[in-house]
Structure 1
């Protein structure tokens, strides 16, 4: 891991450049480094992998951490600081470079490398809610539980012996027109959704999807879309501090990835748990 210290006149920054950002958009990394280095005392860290990324954050001292990278790098930084219970006293900054950046944008980080770097230097800390699950995982944005997709059966091409048999059969038997096999689509999930201990829907009511979004003042906004029969069913909505979902091996999408399968998961909103530097006008 390379570390470079630069002289400047303002507060101390620890700039951690994610390896994916360096590989995918080195020019934007250079621009971010130049803008940040011109406005603050900066220690530049170039970790080669997750372990060095974590080590750089742990050794930041009094420096304010700045992550140069995509959504996954931001999530990794928040997760590490949460795991060590250091989020309360640490304001993060991010300059989105490379990969997926939709989460950072939704949180208010400016579009464009120069604008994002200027916000790091001139912005203000905004405290934000965090959703923490019962395995100590964190969610910064919204999470969704999509419909269940049936598992596909193994393709015949994955079995060499079967391909050989099929070839021999085709040479001996007249070929008949192939019948179209309908592709199985998503099917509703059977889930029990509870908000602050109150059941919103139970296992007997199939649902199309569930979404949980951080609201304000320490609560999450929950929307459940029941499976419709005939006319479209109206969504069921609630807000609360804890959300529990129970079901048979469901998966959920949060921030930049898919987790699961799990049979039970509880998310709790931690009010104002982490800080992100954003433009003062945001």
Structure 2
């Protein structure tokens, strides 16, 4: 379901990593937004200032300029304040990790994304929420797969600085990614066991759907002939077993022995292009 993004009063929150990694894209986005709406610009230096800026938004529509981590941080804050239902978010993706924003339909160019903020529509989306109030916007994967930075970035001092800054902003429970290995996990969907501990698994993926149901795919570890993936839909997904880590959106979490995710239907709104 989509509705028009009506407010012309914008709170533009510019993530510090975006300012340091691509100041030119930030400037372009800010100019386009300022030309099309009344804007208040905030330049938080850390998570606390980021949270205060969102909390003091008043009637202004929040616009995050930053990467996937910044978007997840904004959704997490609003969810914990139970203000997601009445607050549509907009985003101008700037930074290195933009796969979640791209998968959600947000343009990755500064000009196109800023114009979508001004002229786009708000699309309601499902959210995965775990028992500790953690949120997942896109897919989660067990075990996590390491994401390698492109080789051309290895010698860039500004990138190393940005990566160092990211590490200071990441919550303590996020962890590094170990080498993937087969796992023995129990996967339950709406209380029904989909796969049990006696069958080692290669991967589990869970993705929010569009109608209150999550899409679950379990890939059993194949021996000899390739094993077919097991697929299901459900409102709750529980994974338990030996300590495991998982990648969700822009971070890696764990280790945990059990985690349950519940689908919150239409829990949050994101502005995307009208067509």
| TM-score (ref. length: structure 1) | 0.82
Q: C-alpha distance in 2, partners of 1:132/1:205?
A: 27
Aligned match for 2:25, one of 6, 12, 28? 28
2:235 aligned residue: 241
1:192 aligned residue: 186
Measure how far apart 1:148 and its partner are.
10
Give the 4+ runs in structure 1 shifted more than 3 A.
none
Unaligned 5+ segments in structure 2 are: 1-6, 147-178
Tell me if 1:258 matches 2:258.
no
Aligned match for 1:129, one of 99, 102, 126? 126
Measure how far apart 1:147 and its partner are.
7.5
Aligned CA distance change for structure 1 residues 102 and 148 (closer, same or farther; 3 Å): closer
Is residue 196–residue 240 contact of structure 1 (8 Å, CA) maintained in 2?
Answer: yes
Is residue 129–residue 269 contact of structure 1 (8 Å, CA) maintained in 2?
Answer: yes
1:159 aligned residue: none
Q: Give the secondary structure class of the aligned counterpart of 1:91.
A: coil
2:82 aligned residue: 85
2:14 aligned residue: 17
Is residue 61–residue 88 contact of structure 2 (8 Å, CA) maintained in 1?
Answer: yes
Aligned CA distance change for structure 1 residues 126 and 63 (closer, same or farther; 3 Å): same
Q: C-alpha distance in 2, partners of 1:147/1:253?
A: 5
Is residue 145–residue 247 contact of structure 2 (8 Å, CA) maintained in 1?
Answer: no
1:146 aligned residue: 143
Q: Give the secondary structure class of the aligned counterpart of 2:19.
A: helix
Is residue 191–residue 245 contact of structure 1 (8 Å, CA) maintained in 2?
Answer: yes
Measure how far apart 1:216 and its partner are.
2.1
Q: C-alpha distance in 1, partners of 2:227/2:192?
A: 21
Q: C-alpha distance in 2, partners of 1:46/1:147?
A: 32
Which is bigger in relative contact order (C-alpha 8 A, separation at least 6)? 2
Q: Give the secondary structure class of the aligned counterpart of 1:27.
A: helix
Unaligned 5+ segments in structure 1 are: 1-9, 150-184
Aligned CA distance change for structure 1 residues 147 and 55 (closer, same or farther; 3 Å): closer
Is residue 16–residue 45 contact of structure 2 (8 Å, CA) maintained in 1?
Answer: yes
Q: How many residues were matched structurally?
A: 237
Aligned match for 1:112, one of 109, 112, 116? 109
2:100 aligned residue: 103
Q: C-alpha distance in 2, partners of 1:73/1:128?
A: 18
Pairing 1:198-277 to 2, within 5 Å after superposition: 198-277=192-271
Is residue 185–residue 200 contact of structure 2 (8 Å, CA) maintained in 1?
Answer: yes
| TM-score (ref. length: structure 2) | 0.84
Measure how far apart 1:187 and its partner are.
3.4
Tell me if 1:68 matches 2:42.
no
Measure how far apart 1:215 and its partner are.
1.5
Measure how far apart 1:11 and its partner are.
1.4
Q: C-alpha distance in 2, partners of 1:14/1:99?
A: 23
